[in-house]
């Protein structure tokens, strides 16, 4: 069975500091990987995704993530955060098997950017 | 404007009273799905649909029903709601083609079952 682990439920960080949000997954088959962001009282929006190719993926709002197959990780990073980045971030996986469209989400990490 | 529309936004009901949460998308997406979001548990998939008349269970389907009679609509039905179904519900849709894969989420429905 697949699972997604987001090790940190909350991450406080000062404005303009770098941040890394961790995501590890377990799966016996290859997967696609995603990061979604949820701003207060809104639905989720896609930040970035890894389907194939370069393991360093760049997304919106200056975020990037690196797929590490040997460590089964897909950590999200931003070199300098802003107050507006305060939100909840979800890592998700989906098996690459054709016809299978079950998404497994992590439990989320609340990023709190402090002035 | 491309969007996924859920209704209602808030719903308070009593145990056992059947309810339907509607979901509609205007992007001609083949794939649609329902999730519930609970504190500390993240999002869990309830049901999904690959296309019209094609639906399948997610991880927490018990107590829910869905139907996909038209491509744009994917309603979630609670035949006999119970308090443990109090949650925040999200509908999402996506194209199925590789590089275009991206879930578009609705604004959510906060359901309280008393």
What does the pLDDT look like over A55-79, one tens digit per residue? 999 999 999 999 998 999 999 999 9
**What pLDDT score does A53 carry?**
86
Residue A115 has pLDDT above 70, yes or no: yes
B33 to chain A nearest CA, in Å? Answer: 9
- The β-bridge relationship of strands A56-58 and A10-14 is unpaired
* CB < 8 Å to A31, chain B: none
Residues of A in contact with B56 (CB under 8 A): 102
- Asked whether the predicted pLDDT for residue A100 surpasses 70, the reply is no
| Residue in A closest to B57 by C-alpha | A102
- Which residues, 6 or more positions from A84, have their beta carbon under 8 angstroms from its beta carbon? A113
**pLDDT(A108) > 70:** yes
pLDDT of B97 = 65
Which of the pair, A25 or B100, is modelled with greater confidence? A25
State both tokens at A54. 């370069």
Chain A residue numbers touching B101 (CB-CB < 8 A): 32, 49, 51
Q: Per-residue pLDDT tens for B17-35?
A: 999 999 999 999 999 999 9
pLDDT at residue B25, rounded to an integer: 97
Contact criterion met (CB < 8 Å) for A101 and B31: yes
Please indicate if any CB of chain B lies within 8 Å of the CB of A37: no
Give chain A's length: 115
B71 or B96, greater pLDDT: B71
Asked if A46's CB is within 8 angstroms of B103's CB, the reply is yes
Q: Which residues contact B23 (CB under 8 A, 6 or more apart)?
A: B4, B5, B6, B32, B34, B73, B74, B75, B76, B91, B106
Q: What is the pLDDT, as a whole number, of residue A52? A: 85
Count H helices, E strands: chain A? 0, 12
**pLDDT for the residue A29:** 78
Find chain B residues with C-beta within 8 A of A107's C-beta.
40-42
Whether A97 has a pLDDT exceeding 80, the answer reads: no
CA A74 to chain CA centroid, Å, is 7
Contacts of B55 (CB under 8 A, 6+ apart): B47, B48, B49, B66, B67, B68
pLDDT band, very low/low/confident/very high, at B60 (cuts 50, 70, 90): very high
């Amino acid at each position: 069975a697949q699972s997604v682990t987001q090790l940190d439920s909350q991450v406080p960080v000062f404005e303009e500091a770098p941040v890394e949000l961790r995501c590890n997954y377990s799966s016996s088959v290859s997967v696609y990987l995603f990061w979604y962001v949820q701003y207060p009282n809104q639905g989720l929006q896609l930040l970035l995704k890894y389907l194939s190719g370069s393991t360093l993926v760049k997304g919106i709002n200056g975020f990037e993530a690196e797929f590490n197959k040997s460590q089964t990780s897909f950590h999200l990073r931003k070199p300098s955060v802003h107050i507006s980045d305060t939100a909840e971030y979800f890592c998700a996986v989906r098996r690459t098997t054709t016809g299978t469209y079950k998404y497994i989400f992590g439990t989320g990490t609340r990023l709190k950017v402090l002035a | 404007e491309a969007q996924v529309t859920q209704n209602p936004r808030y719903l308070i009901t009593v145990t056992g009273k059947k309810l339907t949460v509607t979901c509609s998308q205007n992007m001609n997406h083949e794939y649609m799905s329902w999730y519930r979001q609970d504190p500390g548990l993240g999002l869990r998939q309830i049901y999904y649909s690959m296309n019209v008349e094609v639906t399948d269970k997610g991880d927490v389907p018990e107590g829910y029903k869905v139907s996909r009679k038209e491509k744009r609509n994917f309603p979630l039905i609670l035949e006999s709601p119970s308090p443990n179904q109090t949650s925040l519900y999200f509908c999402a849709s996506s194209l199925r083609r590789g590089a275009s894969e991206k879930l578009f989420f609705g604004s959510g429905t906060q359901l309280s079952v008393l």
